[in-house]
Structure 1
Amino acid sequence: MPDFDLQYHTDASGHGAYRLLELPPDLLQLIESSVDNNSLEFTIKGAPEDDAVLCTADRTYALRAVVLSNSVLVVTPPSSSPSLPSSSSNLGSGSGSGSKSASSDAHAVVIRESLGEILELQPTVPRLQRLRGLLRGMEWGEGADEDDEGEDMKMNGGKGGNGERRWYSYEQARAELQASERELACALRERHILIIDGNLRPLTPHYLLTLLEQLLTVLVASAQRHDGAGASVPVLVRALAAEHGVRRAVSVQVMGWFGALVGAGGEGQEEGGEEERWVVDVPRVVTQVGLGVLRGYKDEAIPEDAFLGKWRAAVGDTFAEHVSLSLLLGNYLASTSPFTAARQLSYFPRAELPTDPGARFADLFLTRARWRAEDITPFLVDIVVDAKSRDKLLLKYARAQTDKEGTWYTARAR
């Protein structure tokens, strides 16, 4: 075995310049597959008060420092070091002659850094809890164009004013929010946030329900297909603009949320040709209409049959067969009343629950002392990355009890 001389680097300015990052298997495979085309980009995101995350194009990883029991030395050949100290620590056996020292110098290495920790990456859900607060007061509803113009005039003090309304742009969200590009795009779609003139504008729930009902009415009235070849986007856009004053940028994005836009223009906002088509995601549309109807029953429950009747009426005869309560899992509570045998439904959306796991479970167990396993799991899907992490949270925050009716979860005593 050869002997080496370890020599500390004399320039202390580089101290703290090295970090060791342990890669999970999926990220390692991604890096290895991208070596040839050099297309891979990583971004570390987080404000000073945040825990940092690493984002790829489609996933987010939490960065966590793990202390090592033994230090790890980062070393380089002596040729890369400008100067070395006159003394060194020989790790060879015994004391050697001048020729021995010369041989050791030939195998000398320079210690650039002594590390006592490594950075570990763990898949995590995107951290978008700030988004709701950032966009408060920027909602887009019916007549939003006129409201924006009037408010801008007011804030500008009329013509020639120096005031300017501050919006939150899509580019700001990309740079600041702890989420990958794909996860951010999915969040905007799931939360129904429009991009208008480059700014993020949440669509109000009431106006979204109105738009979907108008869209389904126009779809049927104009004899457009909702599957297969799809419906003509220009026909729907013109009808919504003429009959309801809906801006094209709004109608096209809403169609993109609830289906696939194929042909010229895609999901863009430029004028497309007649071949541009909208293939409707029927379950998604029906689900959102159902949520819009159920939203009115947050404080007062509605009998299940009565709700299903209202839901079918809202989507129309063409789509009534797709109505099913399974589409709304994680958005309602079902209960029974001593005065009637019918189940009662009330609006209870997981999107309005805390994103912190401890706070999420606290809210759930304040709402109900006991939960069936199949009832509580739909309220956890947005704070876990997979079933394994969900089971870990249940083990940490809940206690499982099994009886003849199945598995129940109660709050774990603290």
Structure 2
Amino acid sequence: MAERLVEFADKSADAASTGTASYQLLALPPALLKQLSSTSPDNLLAPLEIRGDPSDSAVLVTATQTYSIRGVQNSNSLCICASGRGEGKGRRKWFVGGDGALDGTMEVGEDNANGEPARKKARTDAIEIEAVLHETLEVVPTVARVEKLDGLLKGAEFSGDSAEEEKAHASHPTFDSLRSHIPASDAEIRGALSRKRVVTLDGCLRPLPPSFLAQILPSILSSLPLPPALAHSNGATKKKDKGKAKDVKPFVDGAVWTEAEEQDLLDSMDAVDCGNDEVARQVLAWYGDEVEGGRKRWKLDAAKLVKELGVVLLAEGGFGQQPLDPFVAKWKDLAGGFAPLCELSLLAGIHLHRPPPISTIQYLPPSSLSPDPAARFAELFSLRPRWLESEMGLFIDDLTGGDKKKRDALVLKFVRKVREKETVWWTARNLWT
């Protein structure tokens, strides 16, 4: 029977001062393991980083994905062992799993002066038990939590060139200064910054407030040429029903692409106190792309610009209800020739519409709702006792990251489906709570 030396690592104070290692097992999902196993062209593994403020639950992030970390108790103790041993001080114990002992006990002896076992039996390298673990950490994909961005960016707003002169020496956050405070990956943080309409100016992050966007967007739309079909629709509407607003929606369900000279676009933004070309080009990039070629031109999605204009007008009105007809009238007036695109369907998922006799609209972006699923459903059902699936689904998709299985699990837990004729309504499962 082969002999093997087994010992526990020295955990005395003297050993601790020499840097005795500690361990924790981490179980990786297949997708993350595959990502870490693949190497980039320069043979570097994808980076992993633990993020979150002390008040947050720590998360593990890659360059593009966020993972939550949870502890799982092991039913059996797991030993972390080190095989082999360098030159040590003194004589070591060794253990033999004897095949002659009926009770299965291990024989114990001591090394002789030459470092060999006193018994002349072959044994393998030594095994040192460095730690005994009773818990394994697991990582699972989770939705990035970027709610803290608004608080971290507060006071850094860019409100135009005139306002910038007044606070020229103010310090503002940078991407590197806030990334460690947000429990999300770099890619998810950058995506959130883009959705929140944050530009980078001189290396600092500067959100554009709704009041400033409400000046920029109509100016950009006024400098865009109308697509032929939309121009024809506008002309036909004026001839047929002069002085009355009639909805013409040839492009509402898709993009409305139109091109313009870059200088014309920059001049239009300069006219509303946004003369910084660095900021202006970042704004244009939210709604389209620069056209390749000799002359600098931009291809912009007018429907996206019109939608953004509606969003900022909603945001300016706060989170309370506002009359629908005056809101739509102002939206169409600022959209100019693109007024036929001003349909409430463009604002799906960010507003709550109450039909006549109330006829109000309320700003309700998912980011304003609780990130906790139970609280989110409670908020939604307090606003409206029953929902269509197509309506409520828009307000809960961000909780699951688009994962249909996770969404179905949340619906099963918090929603009761009630059928009325051909319509299925979603109501609260626990009406008494």
TM bucket (normalised to shorter chain) is: 0.7 to 0.9
Q: In the alignment, is residue 139 of structure 1 matched against residue 168 of structure 2?
A: no
SS in 1 for 2:93: coil
Question: Could you say which residue in structure 2 is the equivalent of 1:349?
Answer: 365
Alignment of 1:34-113 (within 5 A): 34=39, 37-79=43-85, 82=88, 86-91=92-97, 93-94=99-100, 102-104=121-123, 106-113=124-131
TM-score, with structure 2 as normaliser:
0.76
Secondary structure at the aligned position of 1:287 is classed as helix
How many residues get paired?
A: 382
User: Who is 2:353 aligned against?
Assistant: 334
Which residue identity does 1:394 align to in structure 2? V
The letter of the residue matching 2:262 is V
Within 2, Cα distance between the matches of 1:262 and 1:82?
70
Aligned to 2:336: 316
The one-letter amino acid of 1:257's match is W
The answer (yes or no) to whether the contact 1:9–1:81 under 8 Å persists in 2 is: no
Equivalent-residue separation in structure 2 for 1:3 and 1:54 (angstroms): 42
Identify the residue that residue 362 of structure 1 maps to in structure 2. Answer: 378
Question: 1:209/1:381 Cα in 2 relative to 1: closer, same or farther (>3 Å)?
Answer: farther
Q: Report the alpha carbon displacement of residue 263 of structure 1 after superposing the two structures with TM.
A: 5.0
CA shift, 1:308, in A, is 5.0
Evaluate the alpha carbon distance shift between residue 228 and residue 378 of structure 1 in structure 2; reply closer, same or farther with a 3 A threshold: closer
Q: Distance in 2 between matches of 1:383 and 1:5?
A: 53
Residue 316 of structure 1 aligns to a residue whose secondary structure is helix
Give the one of 240, 243, 247 matched to 2:269.
240
Structure 2 CA distance, aligned partners of 1:50 and 1:82?
Answer: 44
Structure 1: unaligned runs, 5 residues or longer: 153-163, 265-273
Instruction: Tell me what 1:160 maps to.
Output: none
Of 374, 382, 388, the match for 2:405: 388
Residues 207/35 of structure 1: CA separation in 2 closer, same or farther (3 Å cut)? closer
Alignment root-mean-square deviation, CA: 3.3
Q: How far 1:70 sits from its partner (Å)?
A: 1.2
SS in 2 for 1:253: helix
d(CA) in 2 for partners of 1:67 and 1:60?
Answer: 23
8 Å CA contact retained: 1:6, 1:90: no
Distance 1:83 1:245 in 2: 74
Q: Distance in 2 between matches of 1:255 and 1:313?
A: 22
SS at match of 2:55: coil
- Partner residue of 1:27? 32
Contact 2:53 2:182 in 1 (8 A): no
Residue 177 of structure 1 corresponds to 182
SS at the partner of 1:120? strand
Instruction: Work out the CA distance in 2 between the residues paired with 1:263 and 1:146.
Output: 33
Report the alpha carbon displacement of residue 118 of structure 1 after superposing the two structures with TM. 1.5
Higher helix share: 1
The SS at the match of 1:127 is coil
- 1:213 corresponds in structure 2 to 218
State the SS of the aligned residue for 1:139. Answer: coil
**Separation in structure 1 between the aligned mates of residue 93 and residue 57 of structure 2, nearest angstrom:** 42
The residue aligned with 2:232 is none
- Cα distance, 1:146 vs structure 2: 3.2
**Conserved in 1, the CA contact under 8 Å of 2:223 and 2:260?**
no
Contact 1:7 1:84 in 2 (8 A): no
1:196 aligns with 2:201: yes
